[in-house]
Structure 1
């Protein structure tokens, strides 16, 4: 029996449509690799319940599903709206006040206190992902903005506000974010996503808090501001992963720019060996329909072809009517592309000869070349820090990638990374005995069959746990 699994991972957002134990389990069985906890919504008690359920599923079913905590960031939002929604019309003049009060028919209200300070006459104010647009006529630089409605519609409660022409003064990490981050760190979430990253200092700031807590939670920089694109090389170097957050990005830079920005970000992350997540509206129509559109299927396929490590679902699994069908549909598309596309595998990158890890990196690169030349079924890595795993997957081998580690937490962290399947292993004896033992585990699980070529990478002597310095070719 041949066991197949997708190399491109699936990250699903949790919400009322998916937050019970039974529904989470069903999603994992359908192929979800990681769950996103959206801290723009929900009380700690609700998030805690989901965290406990996912940990329980991992224990019961020996899965390595990981948790991504998504911090809200300085999300500029409307407050509550009377009657659940009011209509504004084109040409209407309307006041926008910064006091967090209730929005009424003749005045909009935001919970963001500095909006009047940040905008100037002529600046656009976009509501609800750009569906509604106002232009600033005047501002008192304190509490009140007067604006004219360019595109009207229904104003709904707590919808996002984008200020594409204005320099937003709010820091990337609000007080709420810091508090939320500590909750996430208390629960040992594997990844945390920082919203509205603008500069590399934003990454240093969150990493400082994580290391002061003695945690190893990895950081995802969400790219959704024009300033982040300007500073992208330093941000990629400093962060552990990138999310192409196409919703706000499209509103901030214009959606026609997003496809090429996505390709640029994915290519840069692939070369740096940093995971990259493509997010927003991937299966949007499946919030209400049991099948995706052709365009959505193409979008998922193109993200896989571009080289995304992970594709993400937002409202589709959080509040949609068909969360299970959405995952199934997404996985079928991923599987079809991975089976038929030839240009997504076996990437060649020029290695940096002056890097302190150059020898180890070139050894891993050669293991991937060898796997390609011998049509190996699997590449097997042993790691404590995860470094080898990230290096192997950077080259996008067509062979299956199996990572063995005694670091339980690392297994979950790696579940967000392209191609990797992790196994807990703590019996590192002599190299030959360990390799033979690992082969048995994979044969027994059905991942290797008699006659399959497999490539081992390891660090000798094993018990010193240094960087990878050995390649071995074997036949099952």
Structure 2
């Protein structure tokens, strides 16, 4: 039986914490687990211990990735796991550290609030939900929700187009999380919202030589400095959620292909991530477009594809992994047949020329 070549990363979360589910998704093709340090990691050390035991039991090497929060903007904590914000209702982002509700949430970046203009759009949760700024002062932004099915939860990412974040260094939290990741035995560190190679060099000084660095490409500045970033990194992740907001959704397919080619030319592994099987968070079956998305990444030459909320909090984590594995295998089989046919046609032409 043909085994898949492309690897699968599954994001850790309550949906797969049990030993039974971890064992099942490893057997279905998961090769690595991602810890999202933007969220609460209480109890994760125990889960990693569980993974290491299964690694020995199943005789399969499993990598663990510590995905640092970085300087990516995020909202604070919210009173409910799933808080619904009504279409066109007013909603405030402020610097108050109190737990958020359906009227406001903490946005602890006064230096960013000062830069935002009335009329600007704020994108939440990898661009899923949009808010338009209608009023502001030094400590808050009053917005109107422009999304019809807006459901928020704690610590979701925030992206504001054309606002440059004047930071390109590890935060105190990142440094603390690197120490935790080392103690946990993580194999990789993923760097968020990278702009150039400086952050990679800073991180390299804090980690052991056997820990690899994954640089997440999420903005125009990173694309501009992509050669130095690839050279200094051990792997690249195309984080398409924030990237789409920054460069425009229609540009992402082209940039994805270009980045995969550049990584291949420099012999660096490349990961395609974000919203690959998004509908399977709720639904047992993927959309045709999602299957095509995974297949396209494999056709283009991606070494790894990643599942995020699908495995962390989704209702169908096992089916999501099974779907991804089947799609990879089917695509790789077709690619192999196509290459074999091409080689055969070349050989036939050579034989004709000889005769």
TM-score class, shorter-chain normalisation, is 0.7 to 0.9
Q: How far apart are the structure 2 equivalents of 1:35 and 1:131?
A: 24
The match for 1:385 is: none
The equivalent position to 1:129 in structure 2, one of 105, 109, 126, is: 126
The match for 1:322 is: 316
The match for 1:430 is: none
Q: How far apart are the structure 2 equivalents of 1:96 and 1:319?
A: 25
**CA shift for structure 1 position 235:** 0.6
Does the 8 Å contact 2:32/2:64 carry over to 1? Answer: yes
1:47-446 superposed matches below 5 A? 47-81=44-78, 85=83, 87-90=85-88, 95-104=92-101, 106-137=103-134, 139-140=136-137, 142-151=138-147, 154=150, 156-158=152-154, 159-210=156-207, 214-342=208-336
The match for 1:382 is: none
Q: How far apart are the structure 2 equivalents of 1:33 and 1:95?
A: 41
**CA shift for structure 1 position 43:** 2.6
**CA shift for structure 1 position 102:** 3.3
Does the 8 Å contact 2:169/2:202 carry over to 1? Answer: no
- Note the residue ranges of structure 2 that are not aligned, 5 or more in a row: 348-355
Q: Aligned pair 1:37/2:32, yes or no?
A: no
Q: How far apart are the structure 2 equivalents of 1:16 and 1:104?
A: 23
Q: Deviations over 1:21-61 (max 9, x none)?
A: 221111111111111111122334x2201211121112222
1:125 counterpart SS class: strand
Does the 8 Å contact 2:294/2:328 carry over to 1? Answer: yes
**CA shift for structure 1 position 179:** 0.8
2:108 counterpart SS class: coil
Q: How far apart are the structure 2 equivalents of 1:106 and 1:317?
A: 30
The match for 2:350 is: none
Q: Which has the higher contact order (CA 8 A, sep 6+)?
A: 2
Does the 8 Å contact 1:286/1:320 carry over to 2? Answer: yes
1:311 counterpart SS class: strand
Larger radius of gyration: 1
Does the 8 Å contact 2:200/2:233 carry over to 1? Answer: yes
Q: How far apart are the structure 2 equivalents of 1:34 and 1:344?
A: 29
**CA shift for structure 1 position 282:** 1.1
- Describe the shift of the 1:120–1:215 C-alpha distance in structure 2 as closer, same or farther (beyond 3 A): same
CA RMSD of aligned residues (A): 2.6
Q: How far apart are the structure 1 equivalents of 2:326 and 2:153?
A: 36
Q: How far apart are the structure 2 equivalents of 1:106 and 1:248?
A: 25
Shifted more, 161-170 versus 231-240: the winner is: 161-170
Q: Deviations over 1:288-335 (max 9, x none)?
A: 222222111111111110000001111111112222222222111111
Does the 8 Å contact 2:168/2:194 carry over to 1? Answer: no
* Corresponding residue pairs, total: 341
- Describe the shift of the 1:200–1:68 C-alpha distance in structure 2 as closer, same or farther (beyond 3 A): same
> How does the TM-score come out when normalised to structure 1?
0.66
- Note the residue ranges of structure 1 that are not aligned, 5 or more in a row: 347-368, 374-476
**CA shift for structure 1 position 274:** 0.2
